[in-house]
């Protein structure tokens, strides 16, 4: 069964192909049997999934992201887009538990439901569900914006004020240089590095962006305008990492010596 699961999830081999491969070794088994064994094993592992989710939540910091995956739509002869959500424990002193949640669409309901018992900080992009969770005063979830996404927007802005683009990209590069040093030290030293070296850079970035948008007429649909508004709309969230030594500058996990364990839970599909 370990071979069957690995072949299906890691190498994307459907059961009918695995059935043919097994027959080459003289093993005759129906696809329905493989499917039933697969589902049965998933149900037995659910208790481990729930425990890993609980341990990830306990640390109070999560990396999160989602990616589109194609799923067969039975009866239509086509595939449809579904989503795979990843949540990873994001604190340096705990194992980097990874749990996945599968959904048939990108509705806000999925992260809302998954994170209903979580209290702490989530690292992610500006997906509307995370923004809404951050603004909801009834929960205890804060969203830390990802500087990699901000950098990408300015990197893609080929038109507009290229001097500003160059300044933003250079400044973000300097932030990462300081962060690389900061994460080699304890939390107290990390905050001191951020306050002394990074906070002035971050403040100057936003001062320049506010000045740009207040004093110049910008094309509303230009990529650079979108990049500027993206950062200004979430200024508080981009600055959040400066005051908490456990918050990362982006939602990319740091290299860890801890074993990375992962499980996926299927929801909303047959």
Percent of the chain with pLDDT over 70: 94
**pLDDT greater than 60 at residue 229:** yes
Decide if pLDDT at 115 tops 70: yes
Tell me the whole-structure pTM to 2 decimals. 0.85
- Mean pLDDT lowest among 126-135, 222-231, 258-267: 258-267
Contacts 24+ apart (CB under 8 A), 215-219: 218/160, 219/160
What confidence category does residue 263 fall into, taking pLDDT thresholds of 50, 70 and 90?
low
Are 52 and 261 in contact by the 8 Å Cβ rule? The answer is yes
Sheet holding 78-89, edge to edge: 141-145, 120-124, 61-73, 78-89, 98-103, 262-266
- pLDDT of 256 over the 60 cut: no
Distance, in Å, from the CA atom of 138 to the CA atom of 114, rounded to the nearest integer, reads 16
User: Which of these, 185, 173, 140, 196, lies nearest to 249 by C-alpha position?
Assistant: 173
Confidence of residue 257 (pLDDT cuts 50, 70, 90): very low
CB 59, CB 247: distance < 8 Å: no
269 vs 108, more confident = 108
> 246 near 186, Cβ under 8 Å?
no
Q: Is the pLDDT of residue 15 over 80?
A: yes
- At residue 252 the predicted structure's pLDDT band, cuts being 50, 70 and 90, is confident
Over 60: is that where the pLDDT of 262 sits?
no
Give the pLDDT of residue 134.
96
């Amino acid at each position: 069964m370990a071979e069957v699961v690995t072949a299906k999830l890691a190498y994307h081999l459907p059961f009918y192909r695995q059935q043919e491969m097994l027959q080459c070794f003289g093993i005759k088994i129906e696809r329905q049997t493989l499917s039933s064994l697969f589902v049965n094993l998933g149900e037995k592992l659910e208790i481990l999934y729930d425990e890993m989710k609980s341990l990830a939540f306990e640390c109070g910091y999560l990396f999160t992201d989602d990616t589109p995956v194609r799923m067969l739509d039975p009866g239509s002869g086509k595939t449809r887009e579904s989503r795979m959500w990843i949540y990873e424990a994001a604190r340096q002193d705990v194992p980097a538990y990874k749990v996945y949640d599968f959904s048939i669409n990108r509705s806000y309901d999925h992260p809302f439901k998954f994170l209903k018992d979580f209290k702490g900080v989530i690292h992610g992009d500006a997906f509307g569900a995370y923004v809404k969770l951050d603004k909801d005063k009834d929960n205890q979830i804060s969203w830390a914006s990802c500087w990699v996404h901000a950098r990408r927007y300015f990197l893609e802005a080929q038109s507009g004020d290229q001097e500003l683009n160059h300044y933003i990209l250079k400044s973000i590069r300097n932030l990462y240089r300081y962060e690389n040093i900061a994460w080699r030290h304890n939390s107290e030293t990390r905050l001191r590095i951020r306050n002394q070296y990074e906070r002035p850079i971050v403040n100057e970035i936003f001062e320049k962006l506010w000045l740009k948008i207040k004093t110049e007429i910008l094309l509303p649909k230009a990529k650079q305008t979108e990049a500027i508004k993206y950062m200004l709309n979430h200024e508080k969230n981009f600055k959040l990492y400066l005051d908490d030594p456990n918050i990362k500058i982006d939602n990319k996990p740091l290299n860890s010596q801890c074993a990375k364990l992962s499980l996926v839970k299927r929801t909303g599909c047959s």
